[in-house]
Structure 1
């Protein structure tokens, strides 16, 4: 059984409350950072993994998170929100750096652990905004993305 670090546990507990109160621009920024982390970490692990299950999952993450980025950008445009280029949040940048330092199966294991945490945070963000957001186009896209993130979490649980 894997345990979360105190920082990750704090973020997971705080995430639903944060998601309920974020502005449309903050939601767009956080969704963009989440997608960027998923794509960047997945590309990194694709360069080294020998595990076909990890490879398949990473390829799915790149495809699905590319799509969700496009969906959020379109909804933001519809809502009149300027979308800055996605930027990793500090914890995400730290995770990518840790992933770069890891090698072999240790990298694969770290990637999967990070994906579990990142997907829980993404789920909290999208569910929270779908339920409590103030921008109708962004609420709709958050509701569309939520089941995709849930399917990723199910896939992670099955691996």
Structure 2
């Protein structure tokens, strides 16, 4: 685990030096965005789990609920170790619209919409986690973000294979 964390931090540092990483948002903004991201992943995935007949989509959605529950716990624990109390997660306006779109869709259209939304949401989540891992101000949260980066990248890789 320590070796992987060091590798992720080294990669984040290299990206920062290459200009690929943006400055991390303030810790309070990071916590708000990370919480909203996890909440969106769990909410959208539960919607799809209640309706999909596609085993590939079902496996992915189930993994999203599990993995994003874990990342919420990791970030919450790291925030507390940093002396910060994260607020209750809330969806942002775009995420609320995406959830509403998923609820209106059905069948294969819902599955396709879900996968498209997941690709967009995971790109944003990856950028947020990479940025905070590289330049965040709270060390425990930087480590948590660094541990979340490879998980989000794995999700992105899986999304690239779904439906092919």
Shared fold (TM-score greater than 0.5)? yes
Structure 2: distance between partners of 1:17 and 1:89:
25
User: Mapping of 1:3-152 within 5 angstroms?
Assistant: 20-152=23-155
| 1:153 and 2:160 aligned | no
Structure 2: give runs of 5+ residues left out of the alignment. Answer: 1-18
Structure 1: distance between partners of 2:123 and 2:70:
19
Deviations 1:70-125 (A, max 9, x none): 00000000011111110001100000000000011000000000000000000000
Work out whether residues 19 and 126 of structure 1, in 8 Å CA contact, stay in contact via their aligned partners in 2. Answer: no
Instruction: Report how far residue 19 of structure 1 moved.
Output: 5.7
Structure 1: distance between partners of 2:154 and 2:35:
19
**RMSD across aligned positions (CA):** 1.5
Structure 1: give runs of 5+ residues left out of the alignment. Answer: 1-15
Work out whether residues 35 and 90 of structure 2, in 8 Å CA contact, stay in contact via their aligned partners in 1. Answer: yes
Structure 2 residue aligned with 1:8: none
Structure 1: distance between partners of 2:21 and 2:49:
32
Aligned length: 144
Instruction: Report how far residue 18 of structure 1 moved.
Output: 9.6
Structure 1: distance between partners of 2:40 and 2:126:
14
Structure 2: distance between partners of 1:18 and 1:81:
24
- TM-score (structure 2 length as normaliser): 0.85
Instruction: Report how far residue 20 of structure 1 moved.
Output: 1.8
